[in-house]
Amino acid sequence: MGDTGGSGEVRRPVFAAERRQRIIELVRVNGAVSLRELAQAVRSSEVTVRRDLRALEAEGLLNRHHGGATLPGELSREPTHSQKSQVASIEKSVIADLAASLVEDGDAIVVGPGTTTQEFARRLSRNTELAVVTNSLLVAQALAGSPRVEVVLTGGTLRGSIHALVGSAAERSLAGLRVRRAFISGNGLSAERGLSTPNLQVASVDRALAAAAEEVVVLADHTKIGIDTMVQTVATEQIDHLVTDDGAPRDVLDELTGRGVRLHVARLG
């Protein structure tokens, strides 16, 4: 209580150091974290956190991106399914609810791999005469008990980390298809590059999924918005709909809207 302004000056760098350490820990655990999420976690303004990110990037401790940060090398690191399932689970649930409203009885759709698309698939059991083509074992499993939904698995080589089939066989099985909509996810979505993923094989199948559909619907929670990873899968101009949550950075959403993407924002509260 007796500390003066002078001692406050001494404490300030200590607090900054603690805040920056917390930022590094958050990015390390989640792989990619949005600016808004970091600001909320360390209870500071986005201006302050942006300054922290610049300092940490200068030290080589993380990579700064528009709307967030990743660890060095994160552009090419692919999180496992279990790692991704721990991030933004509530947001993924409300996104899945909203995305399911874009599916009508009698539709034929393709669904890509991911924890959000798995949640989405669980909501499709109430539909009738629905045909779902997927390269995700988890999506297929979510629909296995739905007698009114026809599930078609692609061929391919199993990529165990994400429980999905990839490779030339998966791409060939999608080549002749034409469905109403593709519901796909990814590891990052920016206005400049569109949807991206760290892995070349996963990216190739995602592109094939998108090419099979009249419209592309991207499911991405706020931790992925404004983030770029190594391999572009679907350019912004090819994305018709984005289903996200209200934690997504508004400036990035505005840019996406300006490029013709139709927004569907799920409310958490």
**Tell me, what amino acid is at 138?**
L
Distance CA 253, CA 256 (A): 5
Is 50 exceeded by the pLDDT of residue 12? Answer: no
Residues 16 and 128 in one domain: no
Q: In the sheet where 68-70 sits, what is the strand order?
A: 32-34, 68-70, 63-65
* Mean of per-residue pLDDT scores for the chain: 86
Contact between residue 113 and residue 164 where contact means Cβ atoms under 8 Å apart = yes
36-61 pLDDT per residue, tens: 888 888 888 888 998 899 888 888 88
Residues 32 and 146 in one domain: no
pLDDT of residue 171: 96
Contact between residue 213 and residue 74 where contact means Cβ atoms under 8 Å apart = no
Is 60 exceeded by the pLDDT of residue 5? Answer: no
* CATH code, domain with 51: 1.10.10.10
Residues 49 and 175 in one domain: no
Is 50 exceeded by the pLDDT of residue 84? Answer: no
Residues 188 and 125 in one domain: yes
Is 50 exceeded by the pLDDT of residue 6? Answer: no
92-111 pLDDT per residue, tens: 999 999 999 999 999 999 99
Number of domains the chain is built from: 2
DSSP string, 188-255: EEETTTEEEES-HHHHHHHHHHHHTEEEEEEE--GGGBT---SEEEE-GGG--EEEEETTS-HHHHHH
Q: What's the domain range around 103?
A: 81-266
Query: Per the structure block, which two tokens stand in for 196?
Result: 């991206």
Q: Which of 33, 49, 72 is the last residue of a domain?
A: 72
195-242 pLDDT per residue, tens: 999 889 999 999 999 999 999 999 999 888 988 888 899 999 999 999
